[in-house]
Structure 1
Amino acid sequence: MRYSFAVLFSLIIFSFVGCNSKTGENLKKEFMPLARGENDEIILVIDSTQWEGQVGEKLRDIYQRYIPMLPQDEYEFSVNKVNPRKLNDVLKSAKNMIFVMTLDSRTSESRAIRDYFTDSSLKKIQRDSSIYYTIRKDEFAKGQIVLFLFAQDSEALVRKLDDNESSLRNLFTSAVRDRTREGLLAKSEKTLVNKIKEDHPYTIHVPFGWDLAKNLPNFIWLRKLEAQSELNVFVYEGDYKDQAVFNHVDELREEITSTYLRDSERPEIYITRQPQVPVMTTRVSFKDMFAVEARALWKISDNSGGGPFVSYTFVDEKNQKLYYIEGYVYSPATKKKHLIREVEAILSTFELSEAAKPNS
Structure 2
Amino acid sequence: MRHVYFLLLSFLLIACNDGPKKTYKPESIGAINSLGVVIENDLWEGPVGDKIREHFAAPVIGLTWDEPLFSLEQMPQKVFTTTTRYRRAVLFVDIDTVNVAHIKSDLYAAPQKIGVIKGSTEDEIIENLDAYSDQIIAAIKEMELEETQKRFLRSLNKDRLLEEKFGVTFRLPSIYKLGKQEDNFVWIDREIQKGSMNIIAYQIPFDRLNNDSTLVTDFIRMRDSIGEKYIPGPDMRDKKTYMTTEDAFAPHFFQTEIDGHPALEVRSIWDMENYPMAGPFMTFVIDDEINNRKLVVEGFTFAPATNKRDYMFELEAILRTIKFK
Match of 2:133 in 1: 165
Given that 1:205 and 1:349 are in contact with CA atoms closer than 8 Å, whether structure 2 keeps it comes out as yes
In the comparison of the two structures, how many residue pairs are matched? Answer: 301
Write the distance in 1 (CA, Å) between the matches of 2:103 and 2:318.
31
Alignment partner of 1:277 is 2:270: no
Given that 1:36 and 1:95 are in contact with CA atoms closer than 8 Å, whether structure 2 keeps it comes out as yes
Match of 2:301 in 1: 329
User: Deviations 1:187-209 (Å, cap 9, x if unpaired)?
Assistant: 1111x1x2531332222332111
Q: How does 1:53-202 map to 2 (within 5 A)?
A: 53-104=46-97, 125=98, 131-137=100-106, 139-190=107-158, 192=159, 194-202=160-168
Q: 1:211 aligns with which of 177, 187, 196?
A: 177
The alpha-carbon deviation at position 336 of structure 1 amounts to: 0.8
State which drifts further: 288-297 or 333-342. Answer: 288-297
Helix, strand or coil at the partner of 1:61 = helix
Q: 1:298 aligns with which of 270, 278, 294?
A: 270
Write the distance in 2 (CA, Å) between the matches of 1:78 and 1:163.
21
State which drifts further: 43-52 or 60-69. Answer: 43-52
Amino acid at match of 1:39: I
The alpha-carbon deviation at position 88 of structure 1 amounts to: 4.2
Match of 2:224 in 1: 254
Amino acid at match of 1:281: F
Write the distance in 1 (CA, Å) between the matches of 2:113 and 2:302.
32
The alpha-carbon deviation at position 334 of structure 1 amounts to: 0.9
| TM-score for the superposition, normalised by structure 2 | 0.83
Write the distance in 1 (CA, Å) between the matches of 2:303 and 2:152.
19
Relative to structure 1, the CA distance from residue 136 to residue 264 in structure 2 (aligned partners, 3 Å threshold; closer, same or farther) is closer
Relative to structure 1, the CA distance from residue 80 to residue 240 in structure 2 (aligned partners, 3 Å threshold; closer, same or farther) is same
Match of 2:31 in 1: 38
Helix, strand or coil at the partner of 2:266 = strand
Amino acid at match of 1:349: T
Amino acid at match of 2:206: Y
Write the distance in 1 (CA, Å) between the matches of 2:90 and 2:161.
42
Given that 1:41 and 1:94 are in contact with CA atoms closer than 8 Å, whether structure 2 keeps it comes out as no
Q: 1:226 aligns with which of 187, 192, 195?
A: 192
Write the distance in 1 (CA, Å) between the matches of 2:53 and 2:248.
29
User: Percent of aligned positions with the same letter in both sequences?
Assistant: 21
The alpha-carbon deviation at position 264 of structure 1 amounts to: 9.4
- CA RMSD, 1 decimal: 2.5
Write the distance in 1 (CA, Å) between the matches of 2:109 and 2:57.
24
Helix, strand or coil at the partner of 2:300 = strand
Write the distance in 2 (CA, Å) between the matches of 1:22 and 1:55.
41
Helix, strand or coil at the partner of 2:82 = coil
Helix, strand or coil at the partner of 2:55 = helix
Write the distance in 2 (CA, Å) between the matches of 1:44 and 1:241.
47
User: Deviations 1:76-118 (Å, cap 9, x if unpaired)?
Assistant: 10111112223343433322122222325xxxxxxxxxxxxxx
The alpha-carbon deviation at position 306 of structure 1 amounts to: 1.8
Q: How does 1:305-344 map to 2 (within 5 A)?
A: 305-344=277-316
The alpha-carbon deviation at position 331 of structure 1 amounts to: 0.9
State which drifts further: 80-89 or 48-57. Answer: 48-57
Relative to structure 1, the CA distance from residue 263 to residue 184 in structure 2 (aligned partners, 3 Å threshold; closer, same or farther) is same
Helix, strand or coil at the partner of 1:188 = coil
The alpha-carbon deviation at position 185 of structure 1 amounts to: 3.1
Stretches of structure 1 that go unaligned for 5 or more consecutive residues are 1-20, 105-124, 354-360
Q: Which has the higher strand share?
A: 2
State which drifts further: 150-159 or 289-298. Answer: 150-159
Helix, strand or coil at the partner of 1:241 = coil
Stretches of structure 2 that go unaligned for 5 or more consecutive residues are 1-18
Match of 2:5 in 1: none
Given that 2:103 and 2:136 are in contact with CA atoms closer than 8 Å, whether structure 1 keeps it comes out as no
Q: Whose radius of gyration is greater, 1 or 2?
A: 2
Given that 1:249 and 1:313 are in contact with CA atoms closer than 8 Å, whether structure 2 keeps it comes out as no
